[in-house]
Amino acid sequence: MKLIYIVDDSQSDREGMKQYLELSGYEVQAFEDLHGVQVAIAKQVPDLLLQDVNLPDGDGFSYIKKLKQNYIFPVIFVSARTAESDRILGFELGADDYICKPFSSKELVLRVHALFRRIDMSVSAFRSGSSWLLGNSIMQLDEVSHLFSIDGKQVPLTAAEWRIMSYLVSNSGILITRSQILEHCFDYSFESYDRIVDTHVKNMRAKMGPLGSQWIETVRGYGYRFAGHSTASHSIADDQE
């Protein structure tokens, strides 16, 4: 049973979300402030955090920014702050989704289901791990152990970045549009969210080092393409030679 933490200063919102998620088969713990969830995370890391933004003891955006430095579990913002700038900021901070209040309980449950489904699909796609070459550089991706490295140096990725990387790698050499990434990795297909994809890719490239923009190529006006070559196919070609 997956464990979900809820942080919301509205008692009615907390209880409503908790009730419907528990009816859907999830284990749920709810907190009214940041202090409560900080203590809980220190004891047990959840499978998902539903995070409000305006809280009595701090700002949800600032908290998630710090949280993502040490944890990679997925986060969904649930907030009455509905401005596009707020939604974009949420994604830039590494959130996997952003749900605007008011919302229906059915929508919440469906979005949580969709998130876990995407994560499970991403894990199964690379169950045995994979290695990739780009010149003399080697990339290794293993979703079972959740390890991603380049030339032996581990690269930390958020849950959203993992899904994008997995999707690009599974389509190595193929042009992937921003719309395809949105639909496959975020369940979005709106043009206004293209900036989310660009932001995630920019962050991923920065973490990957000097060759980041070469591993993930930009196809101007369209999208991105993973440029690595599988070591498995490379070995086969070497054997044939």
Tell me, letter by letter, the H, E, C secondary structure of 15-70: HHHHHHHHHCCCEEEEECCHHHHHHHHHHCCCCEEEECCEECCEEHHHHHHHHCCC
Q: What is the mean pLDDT of residues 23-42?
A: 94
At 84-100, the pLDDT tens digits run 899 989 988 888 899 99
In contact, 230 and 172? CB cutoff 8 Å = yes
CA atoms within 13 A on the CB side of 148: 20
Q: For residue range 45-80, list pLDDT tens digits in order.
A: 999 999 999 999 999 999 999 898 888 789 999 999
3-state secondary structure 204-217: HHHHHCCCHHHHEE
- Written as one letter, the residue type at 38 is Q
Q: For residue 144, what pLDDT is reported? A: 67
**Least trusted range by pLDDT, from 55-69, 178-192, 210-224:** 178-192
Contact 53, 60 (CB under 8 A): yes
Look at residue 121 in the predicted model and tell me its pLDDT: 65
Q: Position of tokens 């209880």?
A: 15
pLDDT more than 70, % of the chain = 88
pLDDT at residue 114, as a whole number: 87
Q: Residue 129 has what pLDDT?
A: 58
| Residue 16 or residue 233, greater confidence | 16
Choice between 226 and 129, residue whose per-residue pLDDT is larger: 226
pLDDT at 78: 95
Residue 192 and residue 84 in contact, taking contact as beta carbons nearer than 8 Å: yes
Least-confidence region, from 38-42, 65-69, 144-148:
144-148
Q: Has residue 240 got a pLDDT over 50?
A: no
Q: Is the pLDDT confidence value at 241 over 90? A: no
CA distances from 104 to 3, 109, 118, 154 (A): 21, 9, 21, 40
| pLDDT tier, 15 (very low <50, low <70, confident <90, very high otherwise) | very high
